[in-house]
Amino acid sequence: MQKIQTTFKNCICCCFMMAITFTAFTQEITTKEIAGAEKMYGLQFSEAKRDSMMNQLKVDQQLYQYLHSFNLANSVPLPQWFDPIVPNMKFSGSQQTITWSIPQNITMPADTNQLAFYSIAQLSSLLRHHKITAVQLSHFFINRLKKYGDRLHCVISFTEKIAMRQAKLADEAFAKGVIKSPLQGIPYGLKDLFTVKGTKTTYGSPPFKDQAIEEDAFVYQQLEKAGAVLIAKLSMGELAMDDIWFGGQTKNPWNLQEGSNGSSAGSASATAAGLVPFAIGTETYGSIVAPSAVCGATGLRPTFGSVARTGGMTLAWTSDRIGPICRSAEDAAMVFAYMHGSDEYDRASRTMPFNYTGNTDVSKLKVAYAKNYIDSLPENSAEKNVIKILKAAGVQMTAIDFPSNLHTNELLTTIWAAESAAAFDGLTRSGKDSEMVQQWQSRYPNQFRSARFIPAVEYLNVCRLRYLVMQEAFPILSAYDIIIVPSMADEPMALTCLTGNPCITLPAGLPVTNGAPPSITFIGGKLYSEATITAFAKLFQQLTHFEQKHPVMFMK
Residues of the chain with CATH 3.90.1300.10: 116-404+465-554
Q: What is the pLDDT of residue 20?
A: 38
Position 7 confidence tier, pLDDT thresholds 50, 70, 90 = very low
3-state secondary structure 377-437: CCCCCHHHHHHHHHHHCCCCEEEECCCCCCCHHHHHHHHHHHHHHHHCHHHHHHCHHHHCC
Q: What is the pLDDT of residue 175?
A: 98
Query: For 287-320, what is each residue's pLDDT tens digit?
Result: 999 999 999 999 999 999 999 999 999 999 999 9
Position 176 confidence tier, pLDDT thresholds 50, 70, 90 = very high
Q: Are 226 and 280 in contact (CB under 8 A)?
A: no
Query: For 444-484, what is each residue's pLDDT tens digit?
Result: 999 999 999 999 999 999 999 999 999 999 999 999 999 99
Q: Are 427 and 443 in contact (CB under 8 A)?
A: no
Name the more confident of 36 and 7: 36
Average pLDDT over residues 157-171: 98
What does the alpha-carbon distance between residue 281 and residue 264 come to, in Å, rounded to a whole number? 5
Q: Are 386 and 456 in contact (CB under 8 A)?
A: no
Position 93 confidence tier, pLDDT thresholds 50, 70, 90 = confident
% of the chain with per-residue pLDDT over 70: 95
Average pLDDT over residues 81-101: 93
Look over the chain and give the mean of its residue pLDDT values, rounded to a whole number. 93
- pLDDT of 3 strictly over 70: no
Average pLDDT over residues 216-228: 98
What does the alpha-carbon distance between residue 527 and residue 152 come to, in Å, rounded to a whole number? 35
CA distances 221 to 138, 218, 308, 401, Å, are 18, 5, 11, 42
Q: What is the pLDDT of residue 299?
A: 98
Per-position DSSP letters for 245-309, written without gaps between them = ETTEEPEETTEEEEE--SS-HHHHHHHHTTSSS-EEEEESSSTTHHHHHHHT-EEEEPPTTSB--
Q: What is the pLDDT of residue 454?
A: 92
Count of residues for the chain? 556
- pLDDT of 23 strictly over 80: no
What does the alpha-carbon distance between residue 507 and residue 524 come to, in Å, rounded to a whole number? 17
- pLDDT of 380 strictly over 90: yes
Q: How far apart are the first and last CA of the chain?
A: 39
Q: What is the pLDDT of residue 56?
A: 87
Lowest pLDDT segment from 256-265, 301-310, 399-408, 539-548: 399-408
Question: Residue 522: in which H helix or E strand, if any?
Answer: strand 519-524
Q: What is the pLDDT of residue 2?
A: 63
Q: What is the pLDDT of residue 18?
A: 37
- Stated pTM of the model: 0.92
- pLDDT of 16 strictly over 50: no
Task: Enumerate the active-site residues.
Answer: 191, 263, 287
Helix axes 530-544, 382-392, angle to 10 degrees: 90
Q: Are 89 and 474 in contact (CB under 8 A)?
A: yes
What is the DSSP secondary structure assignment for residue 129, as one 8-state letter? T
Position 121 confidence tier, pLDDT thresholds 50, 70, 90 = very high
**Which CATH entry fits the domain spanning 116-404+465-554: 3.30.70.120, 3.20.20.70, 3.90.1300.10, 3.40.50.300?**
3.90.1300.10
Query: For 223-262, what is each residue's pLDDT tens digit?
Result: 999 999 999 999 999 999 999 999 999 999 999 999 999 9
Query: For 320-362, what is each residue's pLDDT tens digit?
Result: 999 999 999 999 999 999 999 999 999 999 999 999 999 999 9
Average pLDDT over residues 512-531: 96
Q: What angle do CA 413, 332, 354 make, to 5 degrees?
A: 90
Number of Cβ within 10 Å of residue 430's Cβ equals 13
Calculated CA dihedral for residues 215, 220, 222, 224, nearest 10 degrees: -100
Task: Give the list of residues 6+ apart from residue 177 with CB closer than 8 angstroms, or none.
Answer: none
% of the chain with per-residue pLDDT over 90: 86
Q: What angle do CA 351, 224, 281 make, to 5 degrees?
A: 65
Q: What is the pLDDT of residue 26?
A: 53
Lowest pLDDT segment from 120-134, 198-212, 398-412: 398-412
Position 1 confidence tier, pLDDT thresholds 50, 70, 90 = low
What does the alpha-carbon distance between residue 131 and residue 387 come to, in Å, rounded to a whole number? 41
Average pLDDT over residues 74-88: 92
Average pLDDT over residues 165-179: 98
- pLDDT of 15 strictly over 70: no
Query: For 103-114, what is each residue's pLDDT tens digit?
Result: 999 999 999 999
What is the DSSP secondary structure assignment for residue 103, as one 8-state letter? -
Name the more confident of 7 and 176: 176
Q: What is the pLDDT of residue 70?
A: 83
